């Protein structure tokens, strides 16, 4: 009988890395077809196969951990490192957009009128919906901490209430931001102001949607008794990601909405 | 509190302890039944890889995903070939 002489989890051969890579090909080539030839079939196939891959890959991880018990403390440590490194990579991703914003706004060119916000741009009032959005995300940071402590203390009802509040706040943020997007007097095409504004806030909004989805999955798992009071890394990873999203918003609010107006 | 020298392979032990503390014996059996019946036997050492271990639904979803991705790839390469040789106008 064979046995491994190391502590790490060697997963069963899986088709999902391949389908994931192929779905990325379909997404990118699909975008090209949509932009240049006005057909969306490839893009649709890309989105579908991407969703299918993510669903099945993460479903398998839940099976390996919750149902097969492969996530020992050492394996979990590796997962922690992995999530931390992923979030660090996302920090660098957003740094690029902040760099672009500061590059253009600290030394506004003559074409912009030599000042920021540029000539012709009416920025959003930072004391209105953007401030509400800030309070919504900060509150969601509090509620997710409450959820975590409830989970650690074995308080099932409180954990689910707090997690639900967090999710609802996240959805509320998305709704508010979407309505702001509808109301802005400027568009992404309005010079470098529009570009930096919508690229930075747009990707942030996408991350809020991703984070909310992650939290909803955690909620469903909690409903099905997957988490224990001291083994719930999926929830912790979601919480880390959510705090990251919150911090990015704080930088966005201070830099683009407040200082940038 | 509910982690008695956790034998992580036997997820049911963890869950039973938790349920017992929170709900008592009666509800424990019902919940255990629900959780056990959610999927096929993931614990069985039958050589089936985890992505197919849930039964026929797994196999169907896998096939659908593969057909779409591989088919889509062929279609993407076909479109690329088409776009590489533009037809002359008029």
Domain count, chain B: 2
- Chain B residues with CB under 8 Å of A11 CB are 50
Note whether A22 contacts B51, CB cutoff 8 Å. Answer: no
Size of interface A-B (CB pairs under 8 A): 114
B34 & B60 share domain: no
Q: How confident is the model at residue B41 (pLDDT cuts 50, 70, 90)?
A: confident
Tokens 């991407």, located at residue: A50
B54 & B86 share domain: yes
In CATH, the number for domain A73-257 is: 1.20.120.80
User: Domain extents for chain A?
Assistant: 1-70, 73-257
Of B22, B69, B83, the CB nearest to A22: B69
B37 & B6 share domain: yes
pLDDT tens digits, one per residue of A46-82: 999 999 999 999 999 999 999 999 999 999 999 999 9
When pLDDT is averaged across residues A251-257 and rounded to a whole number, the result is: 98
Residue B59 domain boundaries: 48-90
Q: Is the pLDDT of residue A159 over 90?
A: yes
pTM reported for the whole predicted model:
0.86
ipTM above 0.95, yes or no: no
**What pLDDT, on a 0 to 100 scale, did the predictor assign at position A2?**
75
Q: How confident is the model at residue A1 (pLDDT cuts 50, 70, 90)?
A: low
pLDDT tens digits, one per residue of A117-126: 999 999 999 9
Of A33, A49, A72, the CB nearest to B69: A49
When pLDDT is averaged across residues A97-107 and rounded to a whole number, the result is: 98
CATH number 1.10.287.70 given to A1-70: yes
Closest chain A CA to residue B12: A67
By C-alpha distance, which of B16, B15, B18 is closest to B1?
B18
B53 & B74 share domain: yes
Rounded to whole angstroms, how far apart are CA atoms A56 and B61? 9
B54 & B89 share domain: yes
pLDDT tens digits, one per residue of A175-211: 999 999 999 999 999 999 999 999 999 999 999 999 9
How far does the CA of residue B26 sit from the closest CA of chain A (Å)? 16
Rounded to whole angstroms, how far apart are CA atoms A171 and A213? 10
Q: Is the pLDDT of residue B3 over 60?
A: no
**Which residues touch A122 (CB under 8 Å, ≥6 apart)?**
A185, A186
Rounded to whole angstroms, how far apart are CA atoms A156 and A227? 10
Closest chain B CA to residue A12: B49
When pLDDT is averaged across residues A27-42 and rounded to a whole number, the result is: 97
- Chain B residues with CB under 8 Å of A30 CB are 76
Mean pLDDT, all residues of chain A: 97
**What pLDDT, on a 0 to 100 scale, did the predictor assign at position B11?**
42
Cα–Cα distances in angstroms (integers) from residue A182 to residues A161, A167, A191, in the given order: 32, 23, 18
Q: Is the pLDDT of residue B88 over 80?
A: no
Mutate which: B13, B50, B64, B79, vs A, most A CBs within 10 A:
B50
User: What are the structure tokens assigned to A6, written together?
Assistant: 């190391």
**What pLDDT, on a 0 to 100 scale, did the predictor assign at position B39?**
59
Q: How confident is the model at residue B17 (pLDDT cuts 50, 70, 90)?
A: very low
Q: How confident is the model at residue B89 (pLDDT cuts 50, 70, 90)?
A: low
Rounded to whole angstroms, how far apart are CA atoms A120 and A189? 13
B33 & B55 share domain: no
User: What are the structure tokens assigned to B19, written together?
Assistant: 């349920």
pLDDT tens digits, one per residue of A222-242: 999 999 999 999 999 999 999
B62 & B79 share domain: yes
B89 & B56 share domain: yes
How far does the CA of residue B27 sit from the closest CA of chain A (Å)? 13
Q: How confident is the model at residue B30 (pLDDT cuts 50, 70, 90)?
A: very low
B10 & B33 share domain: yes
């Amino acid at each position: 009988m064979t046995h491994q002489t190391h502590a790490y989890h060697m997963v069963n051969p899986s088709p999902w890395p391949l389908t994931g890579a192929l779905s990325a090909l379909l997404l990118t080539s699909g975008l090209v077809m949509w932009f240049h030839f006005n057909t969306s079939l490839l893009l649709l196939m890309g989105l579908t196969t991407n969703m299918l891959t993510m669903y099945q890959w993460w479903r398998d991880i839940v099976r390996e951990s919750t149902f097969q018990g492969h996530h020992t403390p050492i394996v979990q440590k590796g997962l922690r490192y992995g999530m931390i490194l992923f979030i660090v990579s996302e920090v660098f991703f957003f740094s690029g957009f902040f760099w672009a914003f500061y590059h253009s706004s600290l030394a506004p060119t003559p074409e912009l009128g030599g000042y920021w916000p540029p000539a012709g741009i009416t920025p959003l009032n930072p004391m209105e919906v953007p401030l509400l959005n800030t309070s919504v995300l900060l509150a969601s940071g509090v509620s997710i901490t409450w959820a975590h402590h409830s989970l650690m203390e074995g308080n099932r009802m409180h954990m689910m209430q707090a997690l639900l509040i967090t999710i609802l706040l996240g959805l509320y943020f998305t709704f508010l931001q979407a309505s702001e997007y509808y109301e802005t007097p400027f568009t992404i095409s309005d010079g470098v102001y529009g570009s930096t504004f919508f690229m930075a806030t747009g990707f942030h909004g996408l991350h809020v949607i991703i984070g909310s989805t992650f939290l909803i999955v955690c909620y469903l798992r909690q409903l099905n008794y997957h988490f224990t009071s001291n083994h719930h890394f999926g929830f912790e990873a979601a919480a880390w990601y959510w705090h990251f999203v919150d911090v990015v918003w704080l930088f966005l609010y201070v830099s683009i909405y407040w200082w940038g107006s | 509190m509910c982690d008695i020298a956790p034998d992580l392979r036997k997820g049911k032990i963890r869950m039973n302890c938790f349920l017992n503390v929170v709900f008592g014996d009666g509800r424990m059996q019902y919940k255990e039944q629900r959780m056990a019946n959610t999927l096929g036997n993931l614990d069985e050492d039958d050589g089936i890889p985890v992505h197919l271990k849930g039964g026929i639904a797994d196999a169907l979803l896998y096939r659908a995903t593969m057909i779409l991705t591989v088919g889509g790839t062929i279609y993407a390469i076909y479109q690329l070939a088409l776009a590489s040789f533009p037809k002359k106008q008029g």
